[in-house]
Amino acid sequence: MAKRRTTQMSDVARAAGVSLMTVSNVLNGRPNVGADTRLRVLEVVDELGYEINLTARRLRTGRTGAVSLIVPRFDHQYYSELASRVSDALAPEGLHLVVEQSGAVRERELSALSLARLQQYDGVLLSAVGLGYDDLERMHPDVPIVLLGEQDVPDRYHRIQMNNTAGARLATDHLLACGARRIAVLGGRLESDRPDVATQRTEGWAAALRAADQEPDPALVIPVETFSLPEARAAIAARVSDGLDIDGVLGLTDEIAIGAMAGLRDVGRSVPDDVQVVGFDNLRISEHVAPGLTTIDPGHDAMVAEALRLLRQQMEEAATPPEHVVGTVALIERGSTLVRTARSSRSR
């Protein structure tokens, strides 16, 4: 049987109608290529299935042309949209994105950051959940790295964080302005042994209630351990069926909020007439559910741009001062709440 011929760079150049040097410039992310030419070359690379030998490239140029994104789960819409945004932002530079799933497990996050794995990438974006402060303190990655998320990290790391507390407070303020008084926080958590999304967003909910002279009721904090839509749907339906009196819901993610709307329908409650609902994340699906979901936009594109800026700085300079960037949040109003008001909050 004849051996299948491997696609060569010369095949890409011939199909795209450009020189070998142009193909090399595109694949190595060099800026001296026009946007149309770069796009044509990348389309041909995809069509022909050209595979880049990252090890050989690193030995030759010191770069692999690949960036790693390590996230807890693929099946959460937020992380799939994050990967899409990062990939779109890297493509014009000829950089490739490799996405890994850690399962929020410490050992898998450590494995993803092993020396052998890191040598495959020019930079790493890590959403660390399983790793603790001490783990990160002991590590000294030899490639640029930017941490994403809420965890406490050593000062020497670059870090991008959502403004979780301000966003949840903004959402709760809006529900109060819409007339809601018994506001459940679905997916909430009152205490944790370290910072996380659930506790920070619950803190924002509680702060808004206290500012309105309402004492937060622990009975209104409804856990959703997996942050999944089906669990959120079942949790809110069960609590309302058991007699929990609510007229508002802050879902700690859009998936949780959409699950809440489904669960409320399951027990005969109308959104927004009986119960008003606000989510958090401004996922693309949030404007396509019925009614459209009022939600907090955490500034996805701006945070991706900042994360890649920090990676590039590290890739181009021997040392850069570590930065801690906190995103800007804004309220996006749709049909799941009743009163239309223009509000936003900028991080400080």
Q: pLDDT by residue (tens digit) across 56-70?
A: 455 445 567 889 999
Both 193 and 336 in one domain: the answer is: yes
Closest CA to 335 of 282, 277, 285: 277
Both 307 and 265 in one domain: the answer is: no
Residues in the chain: 348
Using one digit for the tens of pLDDT, what is the confidence trace for 128-155? 888 888 999 988 887 899 999 998 899 9
Of 42-46, 195-199, 260-264, which one has max mean pLDDT?
Answer: 260-264
Per-residue confidence at 31, pLDDT binned at 50, 70, 90? low
Q: What is the count of structural domains for the chain? A: 3
The answer to the question of residue 281 being in a domain is yes
| Residue 308 in this model has a pLDDT that exceeds 50 | yes
**In the chain, % of residues over pLDDT 90:** 61
Both 93 and 113 in one domain: the answer is: yes
Provide the pLDDT for residue 198. Answer: 96
Both 34 and 181 in one domain: the answer is: no
Please tell me what DSSP assigns to residue 305. Answer: H
Provide the pLDDT for residue 251. Answer: 98
The answer to the question of residue 119 being in a domain is yes
Both 35 and 75 in one domain: the answer is: no
Using one digit for the tens of pLDDT, what is the confidence trace for 196-205? 999 999 999 9
Complete edge-to-edge strand list for the sheet that includes strand 324-326? 96-101, 66-71, 123-127, 145-148, 158-161, 324-326
Both 138 and 37 in one domain: the answer is: no
The whole domain housing 45 covers 9-51
Provide the pLDDT for residue 63. Answer: 67
The answer to the question of residue 258 being in a domain is yes
Average pLDDT value over all residues in the chain: 88
| Residue 174 in this model has a pLDDT that exceeds 90 | yes
- Model's pTM, two decimal places? 0.80
Using one digit for the tens of pLDDT, what is the confidence trace for 208-232? 999 999 999 999 999 999 999 999 9
Per-residue confidence at 2, pLDDT binned at 50, 70, 90? very low
What b/e readout covers 215-226, taking b as 16+ CB neighbours within 10 angstroms? ebeeebbbebee
Looking at per-residue confidence, does 327 or 151 come out higher? 327
What the block records as the tokens of 211 is 């500012």
The answer to the question of residue 180 being in a domain is yes
Work out the widest C-alpha separation in the chain, in whole angstroms. 79
The CATH number of whichever domain residue 307 belongs to comes to 3.40.50.2300
The CATH number of whichever domain residue 24 belongs to comes to 1.10.260.40
Provide the pLDDT for residue 8. Answer: 78
Place of tokens 């069509």: 47
What the block records as the tokens of 338 is 């009743």
What the block records as the tokens of 55 is 């090890």
Provide the pLDDT for residue 346. Answer: 36
Both 221 and 231 in one domain: the answer is: yes
| Residue 302 in this model has a pLDDT that exceeds 50 | yes
Q: Is 240 exposed, middle or buried (0-12, 13-18, 19+ CB in 10 A)?
A: buried
- Please say whether the beta carbons of 168 and 205 come within 8 A: yes
- Helical (H) or strand (E) element with 231: helix 229-241
What the block records as the tokens of 292 is 């459209």
Both 158 and 168 in one domain: the answer is: no
Both 151 and 71 in one domain: the answer is: yes
Both 226 and 153 in one domain: the answer is: no
Q: For the residues 80-94, what does the mean pLDDT come to?
A: 91
What the block records as the tokens of 336 is 């799941």
The answer to the question of residue 1 being in a domain is no
- Helical (H) or strand (E) element with 241: helix 229-241
Both 144 and 109 in one domain: the answer is: yes
State the Cα–Cα distance between residues 283 and 198, nearest whole angstrom: 18
The answer to the question of residue 56 being in a domain is no
The answer to the question of residue 123 being in a domain is yes
The residue type found at 286 is S
The answer to the question of residue 95 being in a domain is yes
Using one digit for the tens of pLDDT, what is the confidence trace for 287-300? 999 999 999 999 99
Both 157 and 176 in one domain: the answer is: no
Q: For the residues 97-115, what does the mean pLDDT come to?
A: 86
